[in-house]
Structure 1
Amino acid sequence: MKEWQKKDADALAKIHLAVSDSIFPRIMNSTSAKEAWDTFQDEFKGTVKIRAIKLQTLRRDFENLRMTEGETIKDFSSRAIEVVNQMKSYGGNITNQRVIEKFLISLTEKFDSVVNIIEETRNLSELSVTELVGSLQAHEQRISRRTEVSIEGAFQSKHKNKFQPKGGKSQRRQGNSKEGENKGKFPPCGICQKSSHQEKDCWQKGKPRCKNCKKFGHTDQTCRLKQQQQAGVSETQEAENQIFYACHSATAKKDDVWLIDSGCTNHMAKNPTFFTQIDTTIKVPIQMGDGGLVQSEGKGTVAIQTKKGTRFINDVLYVPDLSQNLLSVPQMITNNYSLLFEGSTCAIFDAQKKEIARVNMQNKTFPIKWNYTTESLLVSQDGVDSS
């Protein structure tokens, strides 16, 4: 009996020494090591009911585990193993085979080939998690090396085509001719669908495939085509409400000529007689192409004559210091007008897809000369077109 009491006191002393000062008060009144341990268990693990609830939550987390795009095998395996260890600490019974199966069905598409090989050639009940993670990491490294080689080869090809066009073209012809000679000799490759080689020899094997453009060697997150599709046509407005003006110094400067400008965020005119209506209280700083700033002296409406009748251009800034009147492409697009650049001409269509103007290119710009109307302000307010 005394021996047992001595061991219990020794165990309780070790527990006291192991805990931090903030935890010690919770067990300072415990008279035995078991009492102190039960206190910890109830507080940190909870009662039987609480442990069952936590275990159920962890099981749900385990079932919802999925490897995300861009996540490495190391990071995913750490997440999964942490959940498994927590389940076991709360009394959960999960077999090694169940963990292996969960791993294999939770990986991203680029691991499909190695998953098929493992499922067909290995006994999952005898495979350990460590072995599986090692095999997947080796496959991941091969994919990474092939992707890097593919990117490096693309840059080399680009430079060769630039500085040695003849040699580059001949090399490409040789590669294409070999592929052409083998075309039809094999059944369609299960990876790239070409019939010039067997699947085991496919150069695209193991490479990631973009879901956007369907090409190999990159993911949809880094797809250049997707980035180009998402690129906007208008410039971002400056934080100080500055409006950017793209300068066309090579163009003939005429007071009654307007330039169609994609780099200008707002319509701007230099002549106050163009306006049928103007609010001189609106003053906006304009950033010029050389970085300088000028001030607008108002904003209003310009009435013009087109072959389809009178049109009203709203929200035109009056800027006396301009060298050229400007029609903003982004502003027209925002107001449901559309522009079609084809060859050396630019056609402008209204919201009903009716052509209202066609402009020929001159000196790499699209100048347009309007005939101004003397309609009264009352008429312009009755049927204003936003452009």
Structure 2
Amino acid sequence: NKKGHFASQCKAKKKNASEQGSSMALALVTLHKDEWIIDSGATSHFTMRDDWLENKHPVEREIRVANDDKILAKCCGTVRLNLPGIKGKTEIHEALYSPDLNTNLLSVGKIVEKGWKVVFSDDGCKIMDSQTKIKGKVLLRGKFDSGVFKIVPKKINREHANAITNDNAQMLWHKRLGHLNHRYMLLLRNKLAHGVKFDKTEFQPCEACVKGKMTRQPFPKSQS
């Protein structure tokens, strides 16, 4: 991205795909899990946080990134964020989740499709409204840091976060551990492993485990 121009007028977008996606390559490097990188190379919004997605549905989509690397998107949904300078929550629709990513990406292309403008400069970037009565109103500011433009959401309400993530964390670890039973999951969390974290609230039933325990009724004996 060149600084001081609108993303919608960016000539760099016309270059071939092998020259795009520099931030997509950075997404394979660990950054802060709550940060969002403003990326002109991404064709969609991406998140590394499966627990942030609402109204999600499964997808199987392979995406080519810089240096011909590939990542796999597993599901799609809506992310709701508390962003600095904006009242209420901002919804990021059709965000793709990929376990291969180590950060979150906001697609400049998707932002421009909404009728907004993105301006890059030495001190950061601005996402501006071009549709309402107050044209040019700055909706969101991103800072320039470590060679990328990024947005850091405000801390979300902890009770709301727990309500969203607690069940997801339990189920996520349950699936990661091969549908391990609750007793051994608690042992891993409390004593036997580092990094296995979820609250003590009651476990939610796993649909796959319930179906797996079902027994088929025997076929009726033949009357012949």
Q: Give the TM-score normalised by the residue count of structure 2.
A: 0.55
Change (3 A) 1:364 1:230: closer
Residue 26 of structure 2 aligns with which residue? 248
Unaligned residue ranges in structure 1 (runs of 5+): 1-228, 378-387
| Contact 2:53 2:76 survives alignment (8 Å) | no
3-state SS in 1 of match to 2:82:
strand
- 1 or 2, which has the higher helix percentage? 1
Post-superposition CA distance 1:344-375 (Å, at most 9, x none): 21011234343222122112211211135749
**Partner letter of residue 37 of structure 2?**
L
Q: Describe the shift of the 1:308–1:290 C-alpha distance in structure 2 as closer, same or farther (beyond 3 A).
A: same
Contact 1:277/1:302, CA 8 A, preserved across alignment: no
Cα–Cα, structure 1 residues 235 and 330, in superposed 2: closer, same or farther, change >3 Å? farther
Root-mean-square deviation (CA, aligned residues, Å) is 3.3
* Structure with the greater alpha carbon radius of gyration: 1
In 1, Cα distance between equivalents of 2:55 and 2:153: 17
State the partner residue of 1:332: 111
Structure 1 pair 332/255, CA: closer, same or farther in 2 (3 Å)?
same
Q: Do structure 1's residue 344 and structure 2's residue 123 form an aligned pair?
A: yes
Deviation at 1:292, TM superposition (A): 2.3
Q: For residues 251 and 366 of structure 1, do their structure 2 counterparts lie closer, same or farther at Cα, with a shift above 3 Å needed? A: farther
Matches of 2:99 and 2:27 in 1, distance apart?
A: 17
Change (3 A) 1:263 1:230: closer
Aligned pairs for 1:277-316 within 5 A: 277-280=55-58, 282-306=59-83, 307-309=85-87, 310-316=89-95
After superposition, the Cα gap between the structure-2 partners of 1:255 and 1:343, relative to the gap in structure 1 and judged at 3 Å, is same
Q: CA offset at residue 295 of structure 1?
A: 1.2
Secondary structure of 2:41's counterpart equals coil
Q: Letter of the aligned partner of 1:328 in structure 2?
A: S
**Offset, 1:275:** 1.5
Distance 1:294 1:233, change over 3 A: closer
Higher relative contact order (CA 8 A, sep 6+): 2
- Give the structure with the larger strand fraction: 2
Once the 2 structures are TM-superposed, how far is the Cα of residue 277 of structure 1 from its aligned partner? Answer: 2.1
Q: Number of residue pairs matched?
A: 144
Percent identity of the aligned residues? 23
**Where do residues 114-153 of structure 1 align in structure 2 (5 Å cutoff)?**
none
Gaps of 5+ in 2: 1-8, 165-224
Written as runs of structure 1 = structure 2, the 5 A alignment for 1:1-387 is: 231=11, 233=13, 246-248=24-26, 253-280=31-58, 282-306=59-83, 307-309=85-87, 310-350=89-129, 351-352=131-132, 353=135, 354-371=137-154, 372=156, 374=160
Query: 1:234 deviation in Å?
Result: 6.4
- Equivalent-residue separation in structure 2 for 1:347 and 1:290 (angstroms): 29
Shift of 1:231: 4.1
Secondary structure, counterpart of 2:99 in structure 1: coil
Change (3 A) 1:313 1:342: same
- Per-residue CA deviation, residues 47-101 of structure 1 (Å, 9 max, x unaligned), is xxxxxxxxxxxxxxxxxxxxxxxxxxxxxxxxxxxxxxxxxxxxxxxxxxxxxxx
**How far 1:276 sits from its partner (Å)?**
2.3
CA contact (8 A) 1:235 1:263 kept: no
In the superposition, the TM-score normalised over structure 1's length comes to: 0.33
CA-to-partner distance for each residue in 1:190-219, whole Å, 9 max, x for gaps?
xxxxxxxxxxxxxxxxxxxxxxxxxxxxxx
